[in-house]
C-alpha cells in the first residue's frame, strides 16, 4: 500500500513567529491608555502560527480527503444531493449584493430587498401558499418557526393545545422541533403501505391536538395519497397540517402543498433548490403559510410601497424574530438563480427526472435488495439489508464497501420503520452512466456478500482511513487538540 501523506493538525506544524498574513501598520498615534480598565490576555495559548504556503497545502490536502457532489454520485436519501451550479456561486459572490451591511438604511439596499421579495413570490407560486418568511436558517429552524406560528394562532384563540401528531417515519427534527415549541409528541404508527392510516389519525385527532406534522412524500418516498382526507380530519378538529418540505424535489411543478390543504410548510433551499450543503450548512429553511397564519410570521417582513421596498417590524401578532437580520441571504441568491435558470418547464423536468432516476434504480435493484414496502415511490426508495443479513452482512458493511467502489453510500438506518435501511435518493442531476455505476456496484457487493462476506465486514479498504471506531470516540471523548 502506498504511504500517503498523513496530514497533521495545524497545531502540530505551528512554529513561533510565523503568520499567513501581512497586515498594515497602525496609521494613527498609538495610545497605550486605550487599554485602561480592560482585562487583557497574556497570550492565546496554543493558537497556531503558520505561513500562507502551509495554510494552502493544509487545506488543499484536507479537501482531498472529502467525497463531494463535484466528484461523484451522492445518493443520500432525504438529503437531495443534487449538483450545485457554479453560476450561483459567482452570483453569491457579487460585492454589490453581498457587500451590503444588514443594518444599512433600506433605501440603500433596494436591490437586495427586491431580490428577496421576488424569491418569496416565486416560492409562493411553487408551493401554492400565500406568504413566505425567508428568515429561518435551515430545515429544522423552519420547522420550529412553523410550529411556533401554529402555537401563536392557537394561543390567540384561547388555547395553545397540548399535542402534536407525528408519524413514526418522520425525520428526528420533527418531534424535536415540536418539543422545543412546548408540545407533547404523539407518534402515529405507519400502516402496511408505509403511510398514515385514516382510522388511526381520526382516533388520535382530538381538540387537544395542535397539528399533524407530515412529510409528503414521506421518508419512504411514498406519496400520502389520502393527504386531502388527512387534512380534512385535522381541520375538522381545529388543527393545522404542517408539511415537512424536505422532499419537495418529488413534487415541484407537478403538484403543490397548498393545493393539498397544507397550512404551513418549510422548504430546504439547500435540497430542492440546489444550494450546496457545504459539509453541513449553511442551509436555508423558508416557511410558507396560508393566509390564516400570515399575521404570525417572524418580523421583519418585506413589503413594497410605491416601488420602494421596506422592512415592516410593526406586526403585533408576530411570533417575533427567530434569527438576527433576515436569513441566509447568500443562499437565497443561489436558489433564486436556480429557479430562473430552470423556468417553469425546467422545474417540472427536474422533478420528473428525479422520480425517473429513483424508479430506475429501484427497478434495477428490486429482488437483489429487500424492499419492505411495495407501494409506488417517487424521488427516493428504501431498501434494506434483509437478504444480505443471511450472510452476516449489514447495511453498514454494504455502505462501507461502496466507498471502495468510489461511490457515496445511501442514507443508513433511516427511516426507523425499516430495519437495516438503505435509503436512496439519486436526484435529477445524475447521468445514466453514473446511475449504472451505482447499480452495478450494488449488484457486485451483493455477490461479494455471498462469496466473501469478510471483505465487506472489514471495508473500506482503500480510503484515507479505514473503518473508524465510533464507540471509542463516544466513550472516551477527545473533542479538541490538547497539546501546547
329 touching another protein, by CB under 8 A: yes
Q: Which residue has the cell 447568500?
A: 330
Nearest distance, CB of residue 140 and another protein, angstroms:
5
Give the nearer residue to another protein in terms of CB position, either 157 or 450. Answer: 157
43 touching another protein, by CB under 8 A: yes
Copy the grid coordinates of residue 330: 447568500
Nearest distance, CB of residue 59 and another protein, angstroms:
4
169 touching another protein, by CB under 8 A: no
Q: 135 to 164, contacts with another protein by CB under 8 A?
A: 137-141, 143-144, 148, 151, 160
368 touching another protein, by CB under 8 A: no
Give the nearer residue to another protein in terms of CB position, either 346 or 450. Answer: 346
Nearest distance, CB of residue 200 and another protein, angstroms:
19
Q: Please give the Cα distance from 449 to 447 (Å, whole number).
A: 5
Among 343, 374, 440, 450, indicate the residue that binds another protein (CB under 8 A): 343
255 touching another protein, by CB under 8 A: yes
39 touching another protein, by CB under 8 A: yes
CB burial string 89-119: b at 16+ within 10 A, e below: eebbeeeebeeeeeeeeeeebeebbebbbeb
484 touching another protein, by CB under 8 A: no
Are residues 143 and 174 in contact, defined by beta-carbon separation less than 8 angstroms?
yes
Q: How many Å separate Cα 37 from the centre of its chain?
A: 46
Copy the grid coordinates of residue 406: 468510489
Task: Give the β-pairing of 308-312 and 301-305.
Answer: antiparallel
Q: Please give the Cα distance from 468 to 474 (Å, whole number).
A: 12
97 touching another protein, by CB under 8 A: yes
Q: 209 to 228, contacts with another protein by CB under 8 A?
A: 222-223, 225, 227-228
205 touching another protein, by CB under 8 A: no
Give the nearer residue to another protein in terms of CB position, either 338 or 448. Answer: 338
Q: Which stretch binds another protein (CB under 8 A): 199-207, 287-295, 314-322, 382-390?
A: 314-322
Give the nearer residue to another protein in terms of CB position, either 112 or 215. Answer: 112
Nearest distance, CB of residue 461 and another protein, angstroms:
10
Q: Please give the Cα distance from 208 to 186 (Å, whole number).
A: 11
Task: Give the β-pairing of 163-167 and 209-215.
Answer: parallel
Beta partners for residue 166, in sequence order: 187
Among 236, 346, 419, 444, indicate the residue that binds another protein (CB under 8 A): 346
Among 212, 241, 337, 422, indicate the residue that binds another protein (CB under 8 A): 337
Among 233, 264, 304, 322, indicate the residue that binds another protein (CB under 8 A): 322
Number of residues that bind another protein (CB under 8 A): 202
Residue 435's closest CA among 374, 352, 354, 338?
A: 354
Q: Please give the Cα distance from 186 to 285 (Å, whole number).
A: 24
Residue 54's closest CA among 17, 6, 19, 3?
A: 19
203 touching another protein, by CB under 8 A: no
Q: Please give the Cα distance from 451 to 440 (Å, whole number).
A: 16
Q: Sign of the CA dihedral 396, 388, 368, 444?
A: positive
426 touching another protein, by CB under 8 A: no
Helix (H) or strand (E) holding 198: helix 198-204
Q: Please give the Cα distance from 423 to 408 (Å, whole number).
A: 12
Among 156, 157, 303, 325, indicate the residue that binds another protein (CB under 8 A): 325
421 touching another protein, by CB under 8 A: no
Nearest distance, CB of residue 241 and another protein, angstroms:
13
Copy the grid coordinates of residue 386: 434483509
Apex CA 209: angle with CA 204 and CA 212, to 5°?
Answer: 80
Among 235, 375, 386, 443, indicate the residue that binds another protein (CB under 8 A): 375
110 touching another protein, by CB under 8 A: yes
Q: Cis omega (within 30 of 0) on the bond before 415?
A: yes
102 touching another protein, by CB under 8 A: yes
306 touching another protein, by CB under 8 A: no
Q: 450 to 469, contacts with another protein by CB under 8 A?
A: 458, 460, 463-469
304 touching another protein, by CB under 8 A: no
Apex CA 412: angle with CA 474 and CA 177, to 5°?
Answer: 75
Helices (H), 324-431: 329-365, 386-389, 395-404
437 touching another protein, by CB under 8 A: no
Give the nearer residue to another protein in terms of CB position, either 390 or 452. Answer: 452
419 touching another protein, by CB under 8 A: no
Give the nearer residue to another protein in terms of CB position, either 296 or 450. Answer: 296
Q: Which stretch binds another protein (CB under 8 A): 1-9, 286-294, 417-425, 445-453?
A: 1-9
Q: Which stretch binds another protein (CB under 8 A): 174-182, 236-244, 385-393, 417-425?
A: 174-182
Helices (H), 104-172: 110-127, 139-156
Are residues 84 and 69 in contact, defined by beta-carbon separation less than 8 angstroms?
yes
Helix (H, G, I), strand (E, B) or coil at 190: strand
Amino acid at each position: 500500500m502506498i504511504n500517503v501523506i498523513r496530514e497533521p493538525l495545524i497545531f502540530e506544524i505551528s512554529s513561533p513567529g510565523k503568520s499567513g498574513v501581512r497586515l498594515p501598520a497602525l496609521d494613527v498615534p498609538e495610545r497605550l491608555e486605550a487599554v485602561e480598565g480592560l482585562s487583557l490576555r497574556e497570550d492565546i495559548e496554543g493558537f497556531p502560527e503558520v505561513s500562507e504556503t502551509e495554510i494552502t497545502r493544509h487545506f488543499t490536502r484536507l479537501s482531498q480527503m472529502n467525497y463531494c457532489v463535484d466528484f461523484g454520485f451522492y445518493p443520500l436519501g432525504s438529503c437531495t444531493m443534487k449538483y450545485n451550479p457554479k453560476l450561483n456561486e459567482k452570483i453569491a459572490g457579487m460585492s454589490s449584493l453581498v457587500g451590503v451591511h444588514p443594518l444599512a438604511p433600506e433605501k440603500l439596499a433596494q436591490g437586495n430587498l427586491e431580490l428577496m421579495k421576488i424569491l418569496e413570490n416565486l416560492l409562493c407560486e411553487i408551493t401554492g401558499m400565500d406568504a413566505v418568511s425567508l428568515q429561518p436558517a435551515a430545515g429544522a429552524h423552519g420547522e420550529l418557526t412553523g410550529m411556533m406560528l401554529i402555537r401563536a394562532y392557537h394561543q390567540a384563540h384561547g388555547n395553545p393545545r397540548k399535542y402534536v401528531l407525528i408519524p413514526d417515519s418522520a425525520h428526528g427534527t420533527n418531534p424535536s422541533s415540536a418539543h422545543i415549541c412546548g408540545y407533547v409528541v404523539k407518534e402515529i404508527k405507519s400502516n402496511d403501505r408505509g403511510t398514515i392510516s385514516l382510522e388511526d389519525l381520526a382516533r388520535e385527532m382530538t381538540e387537544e391536538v395542535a397539528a399533524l406534522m407530515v412529510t409528503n412524500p414521506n421518508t419512504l418516498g411514498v406519496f400520502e395519497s389520502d393527504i386531502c382526507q388527512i387534512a380534512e380530519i385535522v381541520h375538522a378538529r381545529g388543527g393545522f397540517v404542517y408539511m415537512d418540505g424536505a422532499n419537495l424535489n418529488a413534487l415541484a411543478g407537478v403538484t403543490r402543498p397548498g393545493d393539498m390543504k397544507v397550512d404551513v410548510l418549510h422548504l430546504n433551499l439547500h435540497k430542492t433548490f440546489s444550494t450546496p450543503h457545504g459539509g453541513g450548512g449553511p442551509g436555508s429553511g423558508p416557511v410558507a403559510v396560508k393566509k390564516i397564519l400570515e399575521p404570525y410570521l417572524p418580523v421583519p417582513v418585506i413589503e413594497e410601497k410605491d416601488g420602494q421596498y421596506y422592512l415592516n417590524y410593526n406586526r403585533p401578532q408576530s411570533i417575533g424574530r427567530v434569527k438576527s437580520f433576515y436569513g441566509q441571504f447568500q443562499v437565497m441568491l443561489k436558489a433564486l438563480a436556480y429557479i430562473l435558470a430552470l423556468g417553469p418547464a425546467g422545474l417540472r423536468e427536474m422533478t420528473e427526472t428525479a422520480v425517473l432516476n429513483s424508479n430506475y434504480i429501484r427497478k434495477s435493484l428490486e429482488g437483489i435488495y429487500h424492499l419492505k414496502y411495495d407501494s409506488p415511490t417517487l424521488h427516493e426508495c428504501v431498501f434494506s439489508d434483509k437478504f444480505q443479513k443471511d450472510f452476516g452482512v449489514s447495511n453498514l458493511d454494504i455502505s462501507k464497501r461502496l466507498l471502495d467502489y468510489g461511490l457515496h453510500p445511501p442514507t443508513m438506518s433511516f427511516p426507523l420503520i425499516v430495519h437495516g435501511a438503505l435509503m436512496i435518493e439519486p436526484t435529477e442531476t445524475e447521468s445514466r452512466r453514473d446511475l449504472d455505476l451505482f447499480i452495478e456496484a450494488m449488484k457486485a457487493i451483493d455477490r461479494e456478500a455471498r462469496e466473501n462476506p469478510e471483505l465487506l465486514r472489514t471495508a473500506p479498504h482503500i480510503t484515507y482511513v479505514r473503518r473508524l471506531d465510533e464507540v471509542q470516540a463516544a466513550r472516551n471523548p477527545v473533542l479538541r487538540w490538547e497539546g501546547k
